[in-house]
Amino acid sequence: MRTTTRPRWIPAVVGIALVVVLAILPLLNLSIPGVLPGPTYTPGSLALMSLCMVFAALALSYNLLLGTAGMLSFGHALYFGAGAYGLGIVLEAVRLPLVPGLFVALLGGLVIAVVTGAVAMRVNGIPFAMVTLAFAQAGSVLVRRNQAITGGEEGLSLNTDGVPDWLVGVINTRNLYWVALAVVVIVYLVVLWVDRSRLGHIAAAARENDLRVRVLGLQPTRAKLIVFVIAGLCASLAGVAYLLLQSGTQPTAVGADLTITVLVMVVLGGVGFRWGAILGGVLYTILDQRLTVLARAEGIQQLPDVLRVPLSEPLFILGVLFILVVMFLPGGIAGTVDSWIRRRRGRGANETELSMIDEPEPEPESVPEMAR
């Protein structure tokens, strides 16, 4: 039986081509009605696409936890907020330039991930999720109560004194878009490296059977902790991009609500699929933004109350969409597509095998008269 295998270089070529297309998108005059608020070169569309990329990077980092290592965390937003608030505090209080402040913020996110991960790793399953939730809630309380440092409930504004001029203002939204694209590419490459490394293989094996990995003499806890820290560092990088894009941050960037939102992104796209996490992050962000505009539309406001009230709540529509995906697409979008491709390949392989079985045996060649 002969089966065709996809060359390994095809995904790399497709990924590079997609990055190139996204990079030149701000230079084109393309319109996607109902998705983008205007042509792709306008600040509004660029800001929306940049936000999609920030949350795609955050969803990728969370997929590294849930999809690769099988760790359900309710506190992943803590590291996203650590990157955003860390850079904002460094720029405001210490007055460092952007690049040194970036490394300080990432170092802070790394330290927080190491400390909280080492404590949370002492338990597994639901207790692990509850410990991470407790850390996220503690971080949210600290952010809300420290008015002088974090801005409290009003949030923290970006101090642009140490930020280059080409990253400040609406006029430079295109540059911020390219920064967000670079962040997605960096996070994707890091996640890809982890998934294909020995570290990722140990974490994935521990997700399936932790005891068997221990019997083989490996250390799954250490591998999972390293994966946890790398995912937290990637989330901090996404938080840095969020601060630059939004020119500030709010306490909601630290709380558990954001982690649940990211969890929905990953489940919507498909747990365990890198491109699924990106798709889930982009799709959820666009729906969240555009449904908010739809809720204020005049046509919605004129509907009867039984329709107007639910359609005026974007979270209600997103919740219904999530329920439908879980019910009818349990593997998410990427999982469903992958299952369909596998079935097609299996059907094609079976048909090839059957055709080889049913093919009649060739008749023996007649012996020439001269050879008799």
Q: Residue 372: pLDDT above 70?
A: no
Indicate whether 358 belongs to any domain: no
Q: Residue 5: pLDDT above 60?
A: no
- pLDDT tens digits, 260-274: 899 999 999 999 899
- pLDDT tens digits, 75-125: 999 999 999 999 999 998 888 899 999 999 999 999 999 999 999 999 988
Q: Residue 360: pLDDT above 70?
A: no
Nearest of 109, 45, 79 to residue 258 by alpha carbon: 79
pTM: 0.88
How big, in percent rounded to 5, are the helix, strand and coil portions of the chain?
75, 0, 20
Q: Answer whether 281's CB lies under 8 Å from 269's CB.
A: yes
How is 55-69 classified by DSSP, letter by letter? HHHHHHHHHIIIIIS
Indicate whether 277 belongs to any domain: yes
Q: How much is the pLDDT for 311?
A: 73
- State in Å, rounded, how far the first CA of the chain is from the last one: 38
Specify the CATH number for the domain of residue 77.
1.10.3470
Q: Residue 3: pLDDT above 50?
A: no
Indicate whether 366 belongs to any domain: no
- pLDDT tens digits, 191-232: 999 999 999 999 999 888 888 888 888 888 999 999 999 999
Indicate whether 307 belongs to any domain: yes
Q: How much is the pLDDT for 54?
A: 95
Token couple for 19: 């990055």
* CB-based burial label for 82 (10 Å; 0-12, 13-18, 19+): buried
Helix (H) or strand (E) holding 237: helix 220-246
Indicate whether 183 belongs to any domain: yes
Total domains in the fold of the chain:
1
Indicate whether 4 belongs to any domain: no
Mean pLDDT of 241-255: 89
Q: How much is the pLDDT for 358?
A: 53
Indicate whether 228 belongs to any domain: yes
Q: Answer whether 235's CB lies under 8 Å from 109's CB.
A: yes
Q: How far is Cα 117 from Cα 110, in angstroms, rounded to an integer?
A: 10
Mean pLDDT of all residues in the chain? 86
Which structural domain, as residue segments, surrounds residue 41?
13-349
Q: How much is the pLDDT for 4?
A: 47
Q: Answer whether 25's CB lies under 8 Å from 40's CB.
A: yes
Q: Answer whether 272's CB lies under 8 Å from 68's CB.
A: yes
Indicate whether 6 belongs to any domain: no
